[in-house]
Amino acid sequence: MRRAHDCLSWGKRKRQEAENIKLIQNKQYGRADDEYDFEDGPCRKSRKKVATQQERCLFCFENPNKPKHLVVSIANFTYLMLPQWQPVVPGHCFILPMQFKFTNHTVGISPTSPLSSSVSLPEMRRAHDCLSWGKRKRQEAENIKLIQNKQYGRADDEYDFEDGPCRKSTKKVATQQERCLFCFENPNQPKHLVVSIANFTYLMLPQWQPVVPGHCFILPMQHESATRSVDNYVWEEIRNFKKCLIMMFAKQGKDLVFLETVMGLAQQRRHCLIECIPLPQKIAKQAPLYFKKAIEEVEHEWSQHNAKKLIDTSVKGLRGSVPKDFPYFHVEFGLNSGFVHVIDDEMQFKSTFGLDVIRGMLRLPEEEVYRRRRHESVDAKRQAVAKFARDWESFDWTKQLD
């Protein structure tokens, strides 16, 4: 009994000594549960500051080490920046929130959120400071907007944007007439190739190497897409050019074939152009057979509808054979006969179809049939224009307009 009592007394003494040591260490280092909430034994409080996620993340806007020189635009709670590394393509950029996110929640978590217990008070304070910083940035952006609006005018004057000012664009958008080299008012139009000028149309030689000597164009001055849709006075001037050209080349023992290809009506990019091809009379007589066969073969290969393959224009003419706003290929032999073909698939139909048939009729070498159009020198073009003008002088009907 005495030994048991002594053992209990010894245990009480040891327990009391341990409690005294714990009290001394707590006073020296602070309570252990202040830092880790451990129950067993004291633990010295760490003096090393633990970096938060916001301080470690380079994309958190409050991080002083964040590359702010890459920031392009700042909103209330988000910002736009360029990548730190080489972009995949020009214009590669990022859209990022200013606050650090825990899974699907930002730092500013409501008290009812299941994650609110894991957010410390310092992190809550940082979130509040970030919101205050966002308000300051928003006010700065509004001030900048007011200054720039006074300097450049309001952004919505040009684009009707609400967010942020935008300087009005001073770049002039080129019109179709300024882009098209066949529009007569275009300053870049090759006027050294023009042979004759009427009121609404003109006659010129091609910019590239002609298929045959005497190859020329009849064009309206304004940007038109097809002779089918031009006004009557333009139509009459085109016919006058055709009549005089027929008489001029008849004196040389040649007949004329007129070609017109109309495509891309929706974009209005192609200028109405009638190609005039003088051919020896023996070859010109075979032209209807060549074109009829070529059009039938093309239509059989590409057509998706049971439409009429070939329309004879000798009865109704071009205007009576094709409705408006339809793409077509028109070949005319003289003034009173010809064929028109409504193009079913513009992607498959070649814009040089008519010239390729002409080259086949002339039995040019195969490499010449499918060659690209070649440009001639300026001196060669001037000589061709001078020779053509001498032949045209006695047939020029535009002299009567003076």
β-strand pairing of 194-197 with 201-204: antiparallel
Q: Supply 270's token pair.
A: 């192609």
The three-state secondary structure class of 186 is coil
Compute the residue count for the chain.
Answer: 402
CA distance 360 to 370: 10
Estimate the crossing angle of helix 232-250 against helix 378-392, to 10 degrees. 90
The Cβ of residue 50 has, within 10 Å, a number of other Cβ atoms equal to 6
Helix locations, 75-191, DSSP H: 121-152, 176-179
Q: For residue 20, what pLDDT is reported?
A: 76
Mean pLDDT within 138-162: 59
Q: Vertex 106, ends 101 and 108: CA angle to 5°?
A: 140
Q: What's residue 28's pLDDT?
A: 55
311 near 322, Cβ under 8 Å?
yes
Task: Tell me which of 129-138, 181-190, 275-284, 315-324 is least confident.
Answer: 129-138
pLDDT at 103: 42
CATH topology of domain 178-401: HIT family, subunit A (3.30.428)
Of 144-148, 158-162, 268-272, 276-280, highest mean pLDDT: 276-280
Residue 141 token pair: 């952006």
Query: Tokens representing 330?
Result: 């028109």
Cβ neighbourhood burial of 333 (10 Å; 0-12, 13-18, 19+): buried
Q: Which region among 43-52, 280-289, 370-379 has the lowest average model confidence (pLDDT)? A: 43-52
Cα gap 276→213, rounded to integer Å: 11
Residue-wise pLDDT for 302-356, tens only, equals: 555 555 678 999 888 898 888 888 999 999 998 888 999 998 888 888 888 999 8
User: For the ranges 77-91, 105-119, 311-325, which has the lowest average pLDDT?
Assistant: 105-119
The answer to whether residues 313 and 332 touch, using CB atoms and an 8 Å cutoff, is yes
Residue with token string 């290929």: 329
pLDDT score recorded for residue 305 = 52
Lookup: tokens for 366: 């195969």
Burial class (CB in 10 A: 0-12, 13-18, 19+), 47: exposed
Q: Is 66 within 8 Å of 29 (Cβ atoms)?
A: no
Residue 272 has pLDDT above 70, yes or no: yes
Lowest mean pLDDT among 158-172, 174-188, 249-263, 290-304: 158-172
> At 147, which amino acid appears?
I
Residue in 256, 261, 260 with CA at minimum distance from that of residue 244: 256
H-only helix segments in 209-331: 232-250, 281-285, 287-302, 317-321
250 has pLDDT over 70: yes
- What is the crossing angle of helices 353-361 and 287-302, to 10°? 130
pLDDT band for 114, please (50, 70, 90 cuts).
very low
Gap between the Cα atoms of 146 and 153, Å rounded: 10
Global pTM reads: 0.56
Hey, is 356 helix, strand or coil?
Answer: helix
How many CA atoms are closer than 13 Å to the CA of 84, on its beta-carbon side?
Answer: 6
Distance, CA of 142 to CA of 123 (rounded, Å):
29
Cβ(248)–Cβ(395) under 8 Å? yes
- Cβ distance 287 to 327 under 8 Å? no
277, β-bridge pairs: 257
Task: Give the 3-state secondary structure of residue 219.
Answer: strand
Among residues 331, 394, 392, the alpha carbon closest in space to that of 205 is found at 392
- The C-alpha angle 370, 372, 378, rounded to 5 degrees, equals 140
Q: Report the percent of the chain where pLDDT is more than 90.
A: 28
Whole-number pLDDT of residue 155 = 43
Q: Would you kindly state where each structural domain of the chain is located, as residue ranges?
A: 20-49, 54-157, 178-401
What is each CA distance from 116 to 101, 107, 111, 121, in whole angstroms? 13, 9, 6, 10
Handedness of CA 39, 43, 45, 46 (dihedral sign): negative
> What average pLDDT score do residues 86-95 get?
90
